[in-house]
Amino acid sequence: MQVVILGSGNPLPDPERAGPSTLVRTSAGDLLVDCGRGVLMRAAKAGSSAGALRALLVTHLHSDHLTDLNDVITTRWITSFAPSPLAVIGPRGTAAVVTAVESMLGADIEYRLEHHADLTWRPPVVVTEVDAGVVLDDGAVRVTSARSDHAPVRPCLAYRIDDGDASVVVAGDTVPCAGLDALCEGADVLVHTVVRRDLIEMIALPRLTDVLDYHSSVGDAATTAARGGVGTLVLTHLVPAPAPGTETEWLQQAAASFTGTVLLGTDLLAIDV
């Protein structure tokens, strides 16, 4: 199994960091967790594509985690030469979002159906809304979800992917919580979104300080990893984006609470599990 950070950024556009998205390459195919801006450009660089996805796992319905859902749907459709349904797994409300995206794409869909004689089907998307529990089981590969805490965003999910003896947890946006702790128990890798509380408090803008009550700080993520006995902690969705030369500050904050390996997420960072 391999984890590739496709997008390590946050809602603010950054030329070096695409929007939140993590690719987990398994023996049953590629699993994409969230689809922030630029996801398919980064996937192409990583050797994946919309057509290669076994499933898209959605953590929650914040726009920065779903910006390029329309691109994933459209690109899979127009690059397939037979109907190839996109499996989308997410929390309650995911189906309504997909329906709205399909409606937004209505004109484009009609244009392409009219223009291409060999394209005779509309974009096939199969949405499964889930809560806590096993949400996908392909024999060797099992995906388990648990509720995380990103209130007032409800429900919000984290996912654990087990492939043979290897295990990866992708936390999404959350503060420390029991659901995430349960998923992390004994995991090889935890991919966790983080904010730098110290920097945000120094900036002191209400729109920024507001994010502190529903995101984990670097220390919070490290403590979660330590409680679960995780092997490697990967920090991503970095708020604010690290200034050049400050990367070790993030790692040091995590190392204060976690003795395992800590990696600072960058786009296309790949971790073999």
Tell me how far apart the alpha carbons of residues 200 and 206 are, in angstroms, rounded to a whole number.
10
261: β partners = 232
**Counting beta carbons within 10 angstroms of the beta carbon of residue 129, is it exposed (0 to 12), middle (13 to 18) or buried (19 or more)?**
middle
Q: Is 173 a catalytic residue?
A: no
Residue ranges in 128-268 assigned as alpha helix (H): 178-184, 197-203, 206-209, 218-228, 247-255
**Angle (nearest 5°) at CA 170 between 199 and 223:** 50
Between CA 184 and CA 200 the distance in angstroms is 27
Taking Cα atoms as reference points, which of 136, 144, 9 lies closest to residue 67? 9
From the number of C-beta atoms within 10 Å of its C-beta (0-12, 13-18, 19+), residue 242 rates as: buried
CB hemisphere CA count around 208 (13 angstroms): 17
Alpha-carbon Rg for the chain in angstroms = 18
Can you tell me the distance from the alpha carbon of 171 to that of 165, in angstroms, rounded to the nearest whole number?
Answer: 20
d(CA 184, CA 181): 5
From the list 14, 64, 163, 210, the catalytic residue is 64
- Our CA dihedral for 192, 197, 199, 202, rounded to 10 degrees, sits at 160
DSSP 178: H
> What residues are annotated to the active site?
64
